[in-house]
Structures are given as structure tokens and as C-alpha cells.
Amino acid sequence: MRYLPLTSSDRAAMLETIGVAGVDDLFVDVPAAARLSGPIEGLPPHASEMAVERHMTALAAKNLSAGSVPFFLGAGAYRHHVPASVDHLIQRGEFLTAYTPYQPEIAQGTLQVLFEFQTQVARLFGTDIANASMYDGSTACWEAILMAARITRRGRTVLSGGLHPHYGEVVRTMAKFTQDDIVSLAPELVADPDDAAVITQIDADTSSVVVQYPDVLGRIPDLAAIADAAHAKGALLVVVVTEPVALGMIEAPGVLGADIVVGEGQSLGVGLQFGGPYLGLFGCREKFVRQMPGRLCGQTVDAAGKRGFVLTLSTREQHIRREKATSNICTNSGLCALAFSIHLTLLGGEGVARLAGLNHEKAQMTFDRLARIPGVSLLNAAYFNEATVLLPRDAREVVRDLADRGILGGVSLGRLFPVADGLHNGLLVAVTETTTDDDIEAFAVALEAILAGETA
Amino acid sequence: MNAPNASGWRPSLGDAAQAKNATSSGDYALMLEEALSFELGSADKCGVDLEAPGRAPAAGLAKFMRKAAPVLPGLTEPETVRHYTRLSRQNYGIDLGPFPLGSCTMKHNPRLNEKMARLPGFADVHPLQPQATVQGALEVIEQLAHWLITLTGMASVAMSPKAGAHGELCGLLCIRAALDARGEKRDVVLVPESAHGTNPATAAFAGFKVESIPATPAGRVDLAALKSKLGPNVAGVMITNPNTCGLFEPDMRAIADAVHAVGGYVYCDGANFNAIVGKVRPGDLGIDAMHINLHKTFSTPHGGGGPGAGPVVLSEALAPFAPLPFVTRGDDGSMHLVEEENASEGHGQAFGRMVAFHGQMGMFTRALTYILSHGADGLRQVAEDAVLNANYVLRACADVLPAPFADSGPCMHEALFSDSGLAPGFSTLDIAKGLIDEGFHPMTVYFPLVVKGAMLVEPTETESKAGLDRFITSLRSVAQRAKDGDDSLHAAPHYAPRRRLDETLAARKPVLVWQGEPGMAGTPSLSEIGGS
């Protein structure tokens, strides 16, 4: 077996050193009745690298990859161009095959990356500080709600109707067990987000309000107004960013008064990967640092006086505090954080701003073109690189028909909100710098043909 | 090298030992210092060629526009590649040598896994594409699920949890849901005091009260103590098996029977599954739920701290409550994703949703690649070699380092030592730092908490005998120095990129983000304040 270095004679010599006759003597603590006498039946034996590659390649070929067709999906996962050097660098064995930097003297590479990552996230979000990452945007969102509850000592949370419905489901699932009170506003197909409805819901028992920016329909809430209303009642504003590239163009949530900003970092460096692994981003005000979940990397000095980095404030964490920890999180998304950080280092602040500008420009071209199709209109008063278009019929069928024509034409609101009435004619369309003029035209032509009842 | 920018940063001059041969750069041949990216970069540099947009933003966006670009300096591609390559050289990884971090299963990461995960059919697929366009991706999930169910002898598996602790949460929420379905309110979860910190943290996170169970002097769960705590308020127990002392729990079946008899459920922390994969099926031991760390047993890379993946296998009793989404295979062989939209069709008791999408797909492709490479026979050999390697280390070092449970029989895939018997003032930390100078990553230290100065050594099956022999020689040498009171150990490591770091300073005055201004003379960095 190509991954197992022990030879038969090694094994024999080692068993002799240990003083047992055979390897089964090392499993004597396993009750005899539970011990398996040989390989489990019905499972295939080992296979060569060639054979495995053939098998996996055949499975991959059954999928329609985004890069092979005109592609317009978003809804919390975006297809951006990732520079070649990112994937090369994250495969350096010293990064790829290291673990959580428990021994900082031989993990300064990972630790300095985390320090740079925390700085990048904080500056992008406009927050004082950020942590070393969470699993993904949805779990970061729930952790932010818990953190707000610890800070305010209140248990009521208001979710905007513009929050990604899967994020909302994660929150409601968890809250069911922790008995937190979650008020979920219903999404509505209107041009502007539900800022006023959110503000109306804030009361003296409210711990936090959770607002997505831009929201799941691509609209942009007025964070400053919501922050003022929340703070007036002693509540915190939690802002969720599922498309961090947007922050190259629209104001940072922290600057607008957000207390905790969480997000999905997948857009930069990570890729689509059918939904994971992704990267939870988590920033907040410095005064809340001791209530933060997850790992934190901090600057210090070594015994010779050189600058160095360590994991710090670990008295918040499960391995020290056990059941009193701020979260049960242990392993996070280190390698995805590295990819995000490299991509952002390549871009720099000016690069992010230009990238955002290109995304928005392509989106303008797309929505201008789609709105010229009879029966199609744009919902949003404002958008960044994603918006909702209204179709004359259920968008789920249209998405399937588009796929039949070789076009991945957005996410239907029926898929995202299966139980909500009145949304099913909405189609969520995302556009990035990877979208070409030809893609836009092919999408528009196919959509027009489908809506006109033409068969493929 | 990368030239520092105008921020004023310069490499420190190194410590006194090097001062007599000090270099003007602060670097020493292949020992290279590296500034922060912010200190190297500048606002007018970019490693990605992007044209400026040709038209003005839409009018609706005007009031939301930021006033200036984020204050983040950029680097060109050659500078970026050099920055991260130089940083990588300050890291120890499995690729460099043994990484016997107990409970973490730092085995070789096969590169075929990486290649397969990067096939565009897996890497460049959106989670919300129409299902007809992602049949292969759903099939990967189903095939991996089949292997996990079969290897563990369980009824079902929830694939979406993102890491081990997230899997623990999934398992406990299944238990909560099952109790709710029975109309029972039970609020206590029993956790052995030797458990990973995630276990009690997860139980609390899921809304349970945690009660601790002591260990016997032989390093096992105290069955009598456990039984004395069982009652109608107990929702379940969380047992790690093999446990964190590196031992199999021979009473597992009896524990499970006792818990089931009072209406509770048995959660098993599967962090140590590598010791028994292909040798024992947890389902045969009465377990109701167990997470499997794909980044441990099934070799997906640890990545400097994740991403992990924590699918949870479930018994018949808990299977109906597994969270959404869920993959099923239709009668015609086609794959289906069960989401909120269609959950009522046969999965109406799902407790909810744990993640935005379908879990760690990139880890699923790697784990399936690994599993297919080994096959049923190879996986069994994995467990045998992992256990053999650990016992070899245990027996080869037990005369210089106390092994508290060595008398109670063989260990599983990790060998546990204690720092009792070192010279006064010497401890586990000194041994760990001494091993760094010897060229090894240290073992897990000060865990489990039930052993004084614990050192938990998990070599894994991918270490050769020659590699183990070198490690054993070094461990014995360092242990002997600590017994002899060799003061130089207190200052170890001497040869790492950094000497011991001041963790107290880091915690007392947290500096969590860089506070300088790019392209401007910033505040002096600590390297300058503290440099020799």
C-alpha cells in the first residue's frame, strides 16, 4: 500500500520489541464479540492511483462546471477569478500540512498569516478587530447572535427579511434548542429592503438586529439608520456580508455603526466547491473582544526580543473553559483564511475597489439587457453585483429550462424560499468580473426565447 | 529579498548568540525573516491586472458608496509569492517530519486527494445549481456516506457538519430532537473528565447541563460512577472511544446498555477512529451517534487549523432527525437533494439546518479519494499500523518517561506519558521545546487533564520504523536531559525561527491587528523596540 511505510519485517521487529506475538494482541481491550476478523464485506479493496483517478474523474464529469457555460448564480456563493498564485501557495506543504499553531516557535508562518488576515478583515469590515475565522458565514451569523446576547444579557433577536434564508434556518434551528427568541421578518418583493420594518421591531428586550448587506435580494439597507435605532434601545447591530467584494465599493459596515460584522469569505481565494469548505469572517468592536468566539492571533515578542505571534485570549475557548467557553468551535477554516488573505494581498485596497467597480459595471450591463426582454423587470432600487429580476412566471421552471440550454441562469427565489408565497416569479442573478459580454447576450437570448414559449 | 517600504520596518538583528556573526540583513542564510505584508506593500501596487470600469455606477448606488478604498496595501505577484514562501518556511508541517500531535491524527496527506478536489467538476460547481447539473457531486456525497455507514455499522449519516465540534453539536441536537419527539425534557449530559474540551462546550452550546464522570486509576470511564448518575433527567453521555488516554473502553457496550436502559442516548467522540477503522464497528458497541473527523482518519489536510469536516453517523433511533440537506438515491439511480422545499417527502422530522449549503464538499472528494485508495483491506491495515506504531513508542520510552497506563495493557493509536520524575523545575513544556530543537513537532501537551504534565504521542501509520526510531532517540535524549536537570532546556528552542514567545504580554495587552499606516512612517514595531 503506497501510503504505508512499514514493511512486513518492520512489523515483525516492532511486535518483538513490544513483546506481543501478533498485532491482534494490541486490540485485546476490544471485546472479542466486537472484533472484526477481516476486511468488512461488501467494500472494495485498495486501488491504484490511476484507478482512483479514473473513478473520481468520471464522477466529476457528471457535473456541469460553472466555468464551462454562461453562469449567473450567487445567493451567498460567488464565482470570482482566483489568481493562479493563490492555489499554488496554499499547497506549500508547510501551510497545507501544519495544524493549529499550538507550538508558536515553529508556526510563525501560519500565525503571521492569521495576524495579517485579521487585519485585512477588520479593515475591509471597518471594525476594530477580527478573529482568525469561523466555519462559514451562516455559523458565524449564529455565533454573532449568541455573542450579542452575552453582551446585552437579552435574548430577543430580530432577523431582517433580507437575510439569506439558509442563514435564517441555521439561526432558527439553533435558537429552537437554546430557547432564544427569534423574530423573523418575511421577505417581500419590493424595490427597497425592509429597514423600516426592522426598526419597528426593535424594543427594550432586543439583543441584536441582524441585517444582510447587500441583502439576499441584492438590495442595500441603510445601516446607519438601523444602527441608530438599535443603539437607542440598547441593542446591537449585527451585519452579515455574504459578498465581501461589495465592500470595495459600498461603505464598510463598521463605519456605519455596526457592532458585529460577520460574513462569508468564499468570494476571495476560495472558489465555489459546491458549498464548502468556505470561510466565516468575524469582526467587532474592540471592547467586545473577551466575548468573541473562535481563535485570535496576537502580536508579542520572543525571549530574544523579536516580534512574533501567538494564539491569545484562549481563556474564552473550549480547551480551557470547557462548558463555560464562548463557543464550542475548535478547528476553523485556516487554509481558506490563507487563500482569502493571499488574494487580498494581491489586490490591495485599490485593487478591491477596482474589482468591485468591474463587478458592478458587468451587473449594470446585464440588468440593462435583461430588462429589455418583454415581461422582465428589475426589482432593485440599488444593487452591487447581484439583483432580483421579476419574470412573468415561476422562476424555478425557467432556471431548469435555461440549464437545458446550457445556461446556469441564476437562483430562483422558489428554491431559496420554498414556503413563502408571492416570491416565486423572482430570479436572483449574480454577475462578476468573470462574466463576458457573450455570456450576457446568450443568457438574454435564451431567457427571451423561453419566456416566449419557444422550445429548445 | 522583499524590500521593506517606507514604514520604517527593518528585520531585528537576532539574539545575542548570533550577534558575534551578525549579518547586516538580519537574515541568516536559509533562516529568513519576513515583514508583514502591510509593511512591504503599498497602495499603488496590485498583483492583479484590472481595468478601471468604463461607466459610472448606477444612480441608486450613489448614496451607499464608500468615500475611499479600504486602507490595504497591495503587492505584485512576485512579491506576494516571495512573502508567503518565506513565511511558509517558518512553519513545521507533516511534509517536514513526524508531527505526533495526540488526538489530531497528523498523517500524510496524499497529493492525489488534492488533485481530485481540484477537478473543475468538483471545484467549480455552485451549491445551488439545478440538481440535474450536479449529479456527480451528489454521488460523491452518497458514496462517501455509504463508506462511513458501512465502516461504522450505523444506520445513517449526516454529512453537513463542518468540523468535529460541529459534528458533536449535530449529534446532540439529534438527541434533543429525539427526546422532544418522545415528549421528554431531559437536561443533563454526562461527560468524562478526560474528554476533549469541545465535548462539555458542545453540550452547553446545545442547551444541556454538563455533569462530569471520573476516570478509574486504569484510565477508563468509571462505570459505577456513571451508573450512579443515570436517571430520568439524563439525555445521554458523550464518550470518547478510544479515549483520550489512548485506551479502548472495554465497557463500552455495558455503558451503552446502562444509558439506553434509562432512556438516554450514547454519543461517541470519533476523534480517535483511526485506531479502530476496519477493526471494530462503533455500531456494534451500542453507539447512537459519532462524528468522524475527515481531517484526521481520512487524511484531508489540516491546513494550519482547518477546514475540517465532521459527518455524524447515526443509529436507527436518531437517523430520522438528521439535519437538512440530505442526499438520497432514487429508484432510477438519480441523486436527489432533500432540502426545506421537499423535506416533508420522507424526512419531516429533520431537526433543521446547520450550515448554509451542503457541508465540506472539498473535503468529501479528498476523503473519498483516500478511502478508495486504501479500500477495506487498506483501512484495516491503517488502524493496525497506527496502533503498532504507538505501542512501539510507548514501550521504547516507558523506561525514561512514566507511562501511567502502560501496566494496564497495550495502548491504541496514541501513547500517553507524564512528566512525573523530572528534575525539580522541569516539566512537559521543556520536553516539548527540546523536541523542537531536535527537529520534531512536539506531541500534544497537558492533555488529557487527568494526567499530570500529560504528553500524548500519536505517531500515525504513515511514519516509517526508521522515522520512529529517530523520534524515539530524540525523545529519550530530551527526557534524560530533563531528568538530569540540564538548564539549557529551559531556554529551548534555540534553533527555531523564534525563541519562547511571551504569551502573557500577548494576553495582557492584546494587539490583534496591525496598527500602522501603509506607505507612511508608522509606529516602531516591537522588533525594533525589543531587538538586540
pLDDT tens per residue across span B200-240: 999 998 989 999 999 999 999 999 999 999 999 999 999 99
Same domain, yes or no: B281 and B319: yes
Residue B209 domain-assigned?
Answer: yes
Tell me which amino acid residue B500 is: R
Return the half-sphere exposure (C-beta side, CA atoms, 13 A cut-off) of residue B72.
Answer: 33
Alpha-carbon gap: B406 to the closest alpha carbon of chain A (Å): 11
What is the distance, to the nearest Å, from the Cα of residue B515 to the centroid of all Cα atoms in its chain?
A: 30
Residue B125 domain-assigned?
Answer: no
Hey, of B13, B48, B139, B336, which one would you mutate to test binding to chain A, going by the most A CBs within 10 A of its CB?
Answer: B48
DSSP class per residue in B112-165: HHHHHHTSHHHHT--TTS-GGGBHHHHHHHHHHHHHHHHHHT-SEEE----SHH
Alpha-carbon gap: A352 to the closest alpha carbon of chain B (Å): 8
On chain B, the residues whose CB falls within 8 A of the CB of A168 are none
Residue B297 domain-assigned?
Answer: no
On chain A, the residues whose CB falls within 8 A of the CB of B445 are 102
First to last CA, chain A: 51
On chain B, the residues whose CB falls within 8 A of the CB of A60 are 116, 119-122, 136
- Nearest CB to A277 within list B353, B362, B395: B362
- What's the domain range around B398? 377-499
Residue B205: give its domain's CATH number. Answer: 3.40.640.10
Same domain, yes or no: B401 and B455: yes
* Cβ burial A325-359 (10 Å sphere, 16+ → b, else e): bbbbbbbbbbbbbbbbbbbbbbbbbbbbbbbbbbb
Residue of B nearest to A360 (CA): B57
Residue A456: what pLDDT? 64
Range with the lowest mean pLDDT among A268-272, B242-246, B404-408, B458-462? B404-408
- Does the predicted TM-score (pTM) go above 0.90? yes
Residue B302 domain-assigned?
Answer: no
Same domain, yes or no: B505 and B446: no
pLDDT at A323 over 90: no
Strand partners, A281: A263
Residue B495 domain-assigned?
Answer: yes
Q: Which of A69, A3, A410, A48 is nearest to B94 (CA)?
A: A3
Same domain, yes or no: B472 and B529: no
Same domain, yes or no: B342 and B400: no
pLDDT at A359 over 50: yes
On chain A, the residues whose CB falls within 8 A of the CB of B284 are 33-34
Same domain, yes or no: B272 and B418: no
Residue B11: what pLDDT? 44
User: How do A280-284 and A297-301 pair as beta strands?
Assistant: unpaired
Hey, of A2, A3, A127, A413, which one would you mutate to test binding to chain B, going by the most B CBs within 10 A of its CB?
Answer: A3
A200-249 pLDDT tens trace: 999 999 999 999 999 999 999 999 999 999 999 999 999 999 999 999 99
- Nearest CB to A52 within list B359, B373, B513: B373
Residue B9: what pLDDT? 43
A66-80+348-451: CATH topology = Aspartate Aminotransferase, domain 1 (3.90.1150)
Same domain, yes or no: B229 and B260: yes
Q: Which of B290, B486, B48, B208 is nearest to A344 (CA)?
A: B48
A359-366: average pLDDT: 98
Residue B97 domain-assigned?
Answer: no
- Residue A239: CB partners within 8 Å, gap ≥ 6? A210, A211, A212, A213, A223, A253, A258, A260, A261, A262
pLDDT above 90 covers a percentage of chain A that reads 93
pLDDT at B345 over 90: no
For A429, the enclosing helix (H) or strand (E) is strand A426-430
Residue B177 domain-assigned?
Answer: yes
Angstrom distance (rounded) from CA A234 to CA B149: 49
pLDDT averaged over every residue in chain B? 92
On chain A, the residues whose CB falls within 8 A of the CB of B92 are 94, 98, 103, 106-107
B82-106: average pLDDT: 97
**Domain residue ranges of chain A, discontinuous segments joined by +:** 66-80+348-451, 84-344
Cross-chain Cβ contact A276/B499 below 8 Å: no
Three-class SS state of A56: helix
pLDDT averaged over every residue in chain A? 96
Same domain, yes or no: B492 and B504: no
Q: How many domains does chain B have?
A: 3
Same domain, yes or no: B401 and B510: no
A74-100 pLDDT tens trace: 999 999 999 999 999 999 999 999 999
Residue of A nearest to B338 (CA): A415
B404-422: average pLDDT: 94
Alpha-carbon gap: B444 to the closest alpha carbon of chain A (Å): 9
Question: How would residue B194 be classed by pLDDT, with cut points 50, 70 and 90?
Answer: confident
Question: How would residue B21 be classed by pLDDT, with cut points 50, 70 and 90?
Answer: confident
- Residue A39: CB partners within 8 Å, gap ≥ 6? A45, B278, B375, B376, B377, B379, B380
Tell me: domain A84-344, CATH 3.40.640.10, correct? Answer: yes
Residue B463: give its domain's CATH number. Answer: 3.90.1150.10
Angstrom distance (rounded) from CA B427 to CA B245: 19
Q: Which of A245, A258, A290 is nearest to A131 (CA)?
A: A290
Q: Which of B160, B128, B130, B131 is nearest to B145 (CA)?
A: B160
DSSP 8-state assignment for residue B414: -
Same domain, yes or no: B445 and B404: yes
Same domain, yes or no: B197 and B320: yes
Residue B107 domain-assigned?
Answer: no
Same domain, yes or no: B401 and B458: yes
pLDDT at B13 over 60: no
| Degrees to nearest 5, angle at CA B318 with B316 and B321 | 125
A134-162: average pLDDT: 97
Strands (E), B332-371: 335-338
Angstrom distance (rounded) from CA B138 to CA B353: 18
A296-315: average pLDDT: 95
